[in-house]
Structure 1
Amino acid sequence: MALRYFRQLYALDTLDTRFVVPATAPPKEALEEAKLDPAGPLPVQNGRGKSKDIGDNVQPPRWNTTEFYFYGVVIAVCVVLMFKSVLDVSSESHPNYPKFSHLLDDGWIPGRKVDNSDAQYSGFRSNILYLFVVVLLHPVLRKAYDSFWRADTYTQVRPSAAGNGGLTMGLTASAAADARLSQRVSFDILFAGVFLVALHGFSTFKILAILYANYSIATKLPREYIPAATWIFNVGTLFANEFSRGYSYATILGIFLSPPSEKDDATMNFGELLDSYGGLMPRWEILFKFTLLRLISFNLDYYWSLNSRASSPWNDYTFRNYLAYTLYSPLYLAGPIVTFNDYISQQRYRPHSITPARTTKYLIRFLIVLLTMEVMIHYMYMVAIFHAAPSWSTYTPAQLSMLGFFNLKHIWLKLLIPWRFFRLWALLDGIDPPENMVRCMSDNYSVMHFWRGWHRSFNKWSLRYLYIPLGGSAVPGAWGRLLMWGWLVTLFVLPEIIASYVFPAKKWRDRPDAYRWLCGVGAVGEILMLMMANLVGFALGLDGLGELVRGIFGTVQGWVFLGTSCAALFMAVQVMFELREGEKRRGIVMKC
């Protein structure tokens, strides 16, 4: 029983039912089918809603074979050694410990310090208890608001008299959906107003000014100018927010009011007074990047609706709905990103994908991830080590590699935890956003699949509003380390594309094991390149990577480490392949 629940806990549909329910299936009926055993077959097509006969391409399970028993033993030993490498260099007995010990704080685990030196995660970690209080308070306030203001049509849809009941029933259901939308939007605006003032203080007025300007672009400009004006305004706002550091009131008043000289001090003092209360998060412009994505979503959804008013009623695109969407509290701080049309649809009709059982499992998975992060930063101090930047030559190639690997794992977790926290809040509130992190960072053997599953809602946003409108091409860009990282990732996609043409799967159907092993060799190369790119962008930098390469290729110990690492990665990839085959046996075909 416990094993069955564990399998359900880590089933794909616990993360997001979009992975297992085809887009063309009636939602309620499809989700009834999705309640089957997660190890059993599902009458589901692929994630795009198209039928997919994959029976001939799916191999029988290999878990109970000598090959995979051997893989399991080797992988278990490797995982222990990986953890031991970082634990050793994090111990007080290591020569470099005094160089980073000042970055450690007292932890809640007895006898352990905690590495809370990452500013981004530290800010979330220090406020998570307060956020939990808000998450618990939010649905209680909504229920209280609904019970006081709600109309009867919100909760009860009754058929009319016999004779024309079908038609009237449809109209009544539509009226109930509109009432639900109006009711929820009203509460969202009120709560967002309080939430925004608490977060950003007087900077709330700056945010509202930007929102109004963007709405005016969509609704007041001639239709043909909306897309270009939307992109110019929002990209310009992104840079202006950054360069001006959020627009100081003292600077604004000094420039635009132009008071007489004897009133200069009074004007500056008033501006400084407004600047002095910036709320819990004075740097509002940092968080506003996600809001800009929602501004673009609204404008372009509205622009496309102008050609199909019958399916997109005018009253959907009101300023009231726009304000509720762009400032929706559960997703305001970090996403995931929901398009405007999706938000309005879910406000009208509660998604069938949200059930108490599924939300409870999602909560348990979140708590497990949070506890994993807490244990890791109490025992493994790779973030502090990288901040202290000691001499990399004091570490063995294995230790330096594992420091880089677990630093990447820390980055993955510090993004995963806030995304899942805020998505959990939205699920509790009756909104089902896309899941941002599809797979564990260590369960990826393809560069293309990795980036489709990393920040998945942004990937889908980019496809809908950028990639497809531009005809399927877009130009990435970044600065410094991230520029090099971006070029490396782009470069490392090429071998995967070339290999898929040189070794097409259809030519190896009669030799599935040989093809599986051949793909495993290629996947090892992909993983090494992906790790190298991420080490440059987020951990070691070029200097540290150079030291790692010299340590590996310049010593016998390094060559032994490289060989054993490649062998272990090959076995891990075979396990990943088998996990994907298990998904195919259930009818799930994912491109990530």
Structure 2
Amino acid sequence: MGPLSLFRSIYDLDTLDTRFTSSASVPYQTVIDARSDPATSREPLGKNLPVQTSPPKWRTPEFYFYYIIFVLAVPLMFWIPYKVSGPTDHRYHKYERFLSDGWVPGRKVDVSDSQYHTFRENLPYMAMLLLFHPLLRKAWNTVYPAPGRSNDSGGAARLEQRASFDYVFAILYLFILHGFSAFKVLLILNINYRLATGLPKRYIPLATWAFNIPVLFANELCQGYHYKDIASYLAPPLVEWGAWMDSYGGLMSRWEVLFNLTILRLISFNLDYYWSVDKRNASSLEKKQLDASQLSERDRVTIPADFRDYTFRNYLAYAVYAPLYLTGPIITFNDYICQSKHRAASIERPRTIRYAVRFALVLLSMELILHFNYVGAISKANPVWGEYTASQLSLLSFMNLHIIWLKLLIPWRLFRLWALVDGIDPPENMVRCVSNNYSTQLFWRSWHRSYNRWLIRYIYVPLGGSSFRTWRQAARSILTYLLVFTFVALWHDIQMRLLIWGWLIVLFMAPEWIAASLFPRRKWESRPTEYRMLCCVGAVGNVLMMISANLVGFALGLDGLEVIIKSILQDWSGVIFLITSCACLFVGIQVMFEIREEERRKGVTLKC
């Protein structure tokens, strides 16, 4: 394999996640078997080819023109933020204090973002844990071998072995991470488990939401329930003991900061249990004539676990599964149990190695950006944004969105890599680069994808989904989206700007839905080029709205966005820059269209 072929394999969709290249309803073992089957070796191993795809456009005069635009525009997009991020800029002294010594000669590094700075400082320890945890599991398996494993077609012995290790490690992990606060986490987990298994079936959903949503808010408002504060209310003489217990908070004393993800797993367990009541996994498998060791990804999620698997040990092992506890990705309880019983066929060593290389390249990209673009430090220094030109302000903000994307992507991929090494295959959270999106709706399917799948399974579908066939259905669907994104905003944090962000997302989806109904593809089948151009114009508007919504929610807020808009529109140079930017976006989106068309030619159809 040559260097170019190796590079392509690293950035192949199949390397990222086999869910992108194979059907969710087909067991992945079938895909593996097809590789050596002469009858199917020439057929796509992934999803079915669409009925019709357009001829490739990569070598057409239109795209040669686009390549010229790319060669000119992309370097300029990096050059402008770089020029205002160095000692030669007259504003450098205002934010220099937020920079640290870097490893790139002659450059400092911007680690002003506390979230990424914490991750960066602890990366060596997390890398050691990634290696130590699977080795410790192997040692556990040697000391406690699975009895009768060779004859265990149902996987009960493997589940017993894996879940026992996960249970013991989870308890140790909690106390190492959170110190005495581990008792608070265990108490919340225990109450949630009792609600699911102790109440009559009809009360489980209501009790689940009525408990977990207030806990989500209470964790934040009470700042993790300090023992000192609890003692001052319940037992004043024990206040000093409470203060002493608070002082031993482990490696991560603020356990409540990342507990939002655990809340999702608690809800997943309760609702999976609720849907399993009065059902038996064996009967579901027998009825569909399925092999329990070769279930498809969809069956792993939707077919309930055996009723005997809903034990507190399995529940705790799942809720505090070490590789996914802090950041995810999120898997359902049913999927965790199924993969614990039978190793997913999609976990193959060559793919895992390529995934690790891809993670290292992403980490390198982030490091280089932070060495040459100081947008975080500039923002931290409370700058006078009016001193920056429209192009500088816009591209600094655009680069800030990429830094936000990368600082989320890197931990997600690291911990997913840890899970893959440990034998669990969770969904990939990021499908595409943040710059490779043109649809608001499809963007949110690919951003934090495991969370999106969780929302669909546990909120969106129970609320009735969406349909835009009639105005009444459209109104109900918009209300559903508002409820979903309100939950998303509050789940992230209790802040008004995040609520505004969530509602803006729904507002910005509406033009896309309206355009799809006014300009259906079937009416343009005889004019594909005109339809592609029309879609691209609408997509440019979508991209501008998505950038605005994310700047409000995760970067600048409404005030910052207002400053950017005023800076752009205050004179003709800003207006010309806006027109030029839209033209560049138009070119970029045409390339995005062709990338997706190329995927369809290979039999891959991603809804994102």
TM above 0.5: yes
With over 3 angstroms needed to count, the CA separation of the structure-2 counterparts of 1:35 and 1:368, relative to structure 1, is farther
Q: Deviations over 1:147-169 (max 9, x none)?
A: 12113533x34xxxxxxxxxxxx
Higher mean displacement: 538-547 or 296-305: 538-547
2:50 to 43, 46, 54: 54
Match of 1:283 in 2: 254
Contact 1:21 1:34 in 2 (8 A): no
Match of 2:189 in 1: 211
1:245 to 216, 223, 226: 223
Cα distance in 1 for partners of 2:167, 2:368 equals 38
SS in 1 for 2:268: helix
Deviation (angstroms), 1:53: 5.9
AA paired with 1:24?
S
AA paired with 1:26?
P
Contact 2:21 2:45 in 1 (8 A): no
Cα distance in 1 for partners of 2:105, 2:374 equals 16
Matches for 1:162-173 after TM superposition, within 5 Å: 172-173=152-153
SS in 1 for 2:148: helix
Indicate yes or no: 2:447 matched with 1:445: no
Match of 2:144 in 1: 149
Matches for 1:515-530 after TM superposition, within 5 Å: 515-530=531-546
Deviation (angstroms), 1:216: 0.3
AA paired with 2:24?
A
Deviation (angstroms), 1:544: 2.7
Q: Deviations over 1:529-559 (max 9, x none)?
A: 1112222222333333223222322222112
AA paired with 2:515?
A
Deviation (angstroms), 1:84: 0.7
Q: Deviations over 1:499-541 (max 9, x none)?
A: 1111111111122212111111111111111112222222333
**RMSD value over aligned CA atoms?**
1.7
Indicate yes or no: 2:264 matched with 1:293: yes
Cα distance in 2 for partners of 1:530, 1:408 equals 11
TM-score by length of structure 2 reads 0.89
Deviation (angstroms), 1:483: 2.5
Matches for 1:90-129 after TM superposition, within 5 Å: 90-129=85-124
Q: Deviations over 1:461-508 (max 9, x none)?
A: 011111111223251334332232222221111111111111111111
Cα distance in 1 for partners of 2:197, 2:148 equals 31
How many aligned positions are there? 558
Q: Deviations over 1:445-468 (max 9, x none)?
A: 000011111111111101111111
Higher mean displacement: 459-468 or 340-349: 459-468
Structure 1: 5+ residue stretches without partners: 46-51, 158-171, 259-263
Match of 1:161 in 2: none
Higher mean displacement: 509-518 or 430-439: 509-518
2:428 to 428, 435, 438: 435
2:389 to 367, 378, 396: 396
Contact 2:176 2:250 in 1 (8 A): yes
With over 3 angstroms needed to count, the CA separation of the structure-2 counterparts of 1:232 and 1:570, relative to structure 1, is same
1:531 to 542, 547, 558: 547
Moved over 3 A (4+): 31-36
AA paired with 1:286?
V
Cα distance in 2 for partners of 1:29, 1:377 equals 43
Contact 2:536 2:590 in 1 (8 A): yes
AA paired with 2:574?
G
Cα distance in 2 for partners of 1:227, 1:142 equals 35
SS in 2 for 1:114: strand
Cα distance in 2 for partners of 1:276, 1:548 equals 44
SS in 1 for 2:450: helix
Match of 1:370 in 2: 363
AA paired with 2:181?
S
Deviation (angstroms), 1:20: 1.5
Match of 2:290 in 1: none
Matches for 1:83-482 after TM superposition, within 5 Å: 83-151=78-146, 153-154=148-149, 156-157=150-151, 172-174=152-154, 177-257=155-235, 264=237, 267-311=238-282, 312-472=305-465, 473=480, 475=483, 476-477=485-486, 478=489, 479-482=495-498
Match of 2:475 in 1: none
Q: Deviations over 1:239-270 (max 9, x none)?
A: 11111111111222333336xxxxx2xx2221
Deviation (angstroms), 1:414: 0.5
Match of 1:49 in 2: none
Deviation (angstroms), 1:313: 2.2
Contact 2:49 2:601 in 1 (8 A): no
Cα distance in 2 for partners of 1:333, 1:573 equals 35
SS in 1 for 2:84: helix
Indicate yes or no: 2:95 matched with 1:73: no
Match of 2:14 in 1: 13
SS in 2 for 1:353: coil
